[in-house]
Chains A and B, each alone.
Chain A
Amino acid sequence: MKKILNDPDAYVDEMLDGLCLAHPELQRRGDGGRVIARSRGAVPGKVGIATGGGSGHLPVFLGYVGEGLLDSCAVGNVFAGPRMDDCIEAMREADAGAGVLQLYGNYGGDRMNFDMAAEMLELEGMQIASVRVCDDVASAPVTEREKRRGVAGLVFVYKAAGAKAATGATLDEVAALARKANDACRSIGVALSPCVVPESGKPSFTIEDSEVEFGMGIHGEPGIWRGPLKRADALADEMLAHLLPELALARGDRVAVLVNSLGATPAEELYILYRRVAAVLGAEGVTIVRPLVGRYATSMEMAGASLSVMKLDAELEAMLAAPADCPFWSVR
């Protein structure tokens, strides 16, 4: 293991300390400091949006707490779900009396702890809705779409739901918009090299220097196939081939696109991928609005990239265009 750290067991807490020092608009809350919330507190009258998940994915999940985005995040250990008590605290931080949307990636530990947190807080009378993002097409077949995991598409769903909440919409309206955004979004990833969970000190998987894992998950979960690394255009074509059929795009449709680095892959290579994605979509008569290219949902030092495509209607497009500001991303 070669990582910049002091103590593997302090990895998450020291990261949170530094992040809040660098971005004083965010603060650590809760017993143990494993909740990130806006320093100014919940916005009165606004539906709160609480997320949560394991560490090791910055900017996901906690990095999207901010104006026009999320209100709080329950923070787990690296690749481990947040604790139930932290989910409860995150929801309390997000609650300004208009109800709280739990909006998070569809992972077992996250789901169990958010479900138990909701059961506890419903006893206190909190209004709660829950939407689990499931954009990773490689994690379950389309017939079991609700079992898929949430990856970089979380960013689009956070953005859309956060903007809707900022309009003063009701909890039902914000939850419906989050569901619509999730239904319109598909992602797939490819990995070239593993990452190391600090506490275990070992690579999460092994892969030959010449190989790519196609469809790999954001924690290094095995993908659809592994084989010799292809040219960038061939990879982009194959990624699109997994995403586009489910979106049923027609000429004249508009989409949001995110070409995301899993951590180590440089922006240069993302733009090489984006070049091909834009050409293919252009040839189909599909217009890309607001492309994002960069590091939005990572797996620490893993090399690789993911591609997310969201089919837009007028409402989703307006929500993606609304102002937002968080430590890692601003929309003006």
Chain B
Amino acid sequence: MIDVNRLTAAIPRWCAAMHAAAPELNELDGRLGDADLGVTLDKCATLIAQAQPELPDSLEGIFKRLAQASAKASGSSFGTLLTVAFMTAGKRCAGTQALGRADLATLLGEVVATLSARGGANLGDKTVLDALQAVHLAMADASEEEDLRRIAIDAVGEALDAFRDKPNRIGRARMFADKTIGMDDPGMVALKRMVESI
């Protein structure tokens, strides 16, 4: 279950994980794209940490503040997707004090749909969407006793394993898709570092 206290407590760990992962994510992104994924998440984490002391007392309010902070930090593609994901979560949490397993599963399904519509990637393109979808499906199928964090970490790990030997189908990587076989998608790795941290 996620409530205001748990979400608030998770944010500093998320920020620390993004700072720590930045060099790894820059390096992975540099093999496929413009090498700024770590820089982007590092900037988002800095502004989100600055917002921490004055976070509102509702899930809706917190997610909206996270969206504002990441929108202010970066207009890069991954930063914008993060903003859109937080905005979607904020809207979904209006009037809600806690998210259980089933609520989270539904929320993640909506986030996947919104990010696909905004960003243009489809499931199967080997992007962060495929890993998010894996978490969505695993949450939906899990029993009430299971640890949500464990489910998410396992699902992202399985998505990375499932897609490692497939080609990236979007972005500039589509031009050298075969060379991306065997490589982990940087966005999926970013999500792995996120779920490990919270």
CB distance from A222 to the nearest CB of B (A): 6
B76's partner among A81, A116, A215 (CB-CB below 8 A) is A81
Q: Is the interface of A mostly helix, strand, loop or mixed?
A: loop
CB neighbours of B78 from chain A (8 A)? 109
Of A83, A115, A220, which one neighbours B34 at CB under 8 angstroms?
A: A220
Check B80–A84 contact: CB distance below 8 A.
Answer: yes
**CA–CA, A220 and B34, complex, Å:** 6
> Which residues of chain A are within 8 angstroms of B34 by Cβ–Cβ distance?
79, 197, 204, 217, 219-221
Q: Please classify how large the interface on chain B is, using the bins under 10, 10 to 19, 20 to 34, 35 or more.
A: 35 or more
A108 near B119 with CB under 8 A, answer: yes
CB-CB under 8 A from A310, the residues of chain B are none
Contacting pair B23 A200 (CB below 8 A): yes
Smallest CB gap from B74: residue in A: A80
Would you call B77 and A149 a contact (CB within 8 A)?
A: no
Q: For residue A218, which residue of chain B has the nearest CB?
A: B34
Q: How far is the CB of B174 from the nearest CB of chain A, in Å? A: 6
B176's contact among A74, A86, A200, A222, by CB below 8 Å, is which? A222
A10 to chain B, nearest CB (A): 13
Closest Cβ of chain A to B43, distance in Å, is 7
Q: Which residues of B contact A200 (CB under 8 A)?
A: 22-23, 26, 35-36, 38-39
A200 vs B28: C-alpha distance when bound (angstroms): 13
Cα(A76)–Cα(B36), bound, Å: 12
Complex interface bits, A217-235 against B, C-beta within 8 A gives 1, otherwise 0: 1011111100000000000
Q: Closest CB-CB distance, A85 to chain B, in whole Å?
A: 7
Residues in B22-80 with C-beta less than 8 Å from chain A: 22-23, 26-27, 30-36, 38-40, 42-43, 71-72, 74-80
Q: Is A82 an interface residue (CB 8 A)?
A: yes
Decide if A81 touches B80 in the complex (CB within 8 Å): yes
Q: Does A113 contact B (CB under 8 A)?
A: yes
Docked complex Cα distance between A54 and B79 (Å): 13
A selection of 15 A-B contacts at a CB cut-off of 8 Å is A74-B75, A81-B77, A86-B75, A87-B75, A108-B120, A109-B78, A112-B119, A141-B175, A144-B174, A197-B39, A199-B42, A200-B39, A217-B34, A220-B30, A222-B32
A interface, CB within 8 angstroms of B: 54, 74, 76-87, 107-113, 115-116, 138-141, 144, 147, 149, 197, 199-200, 202, 204-205, 215, 217, 219-224
4 cross-chain pairs, A with B, having the tightest CB-CB distances, nearest first: A219-B34, A108-B77, A80-B76, A81-B75
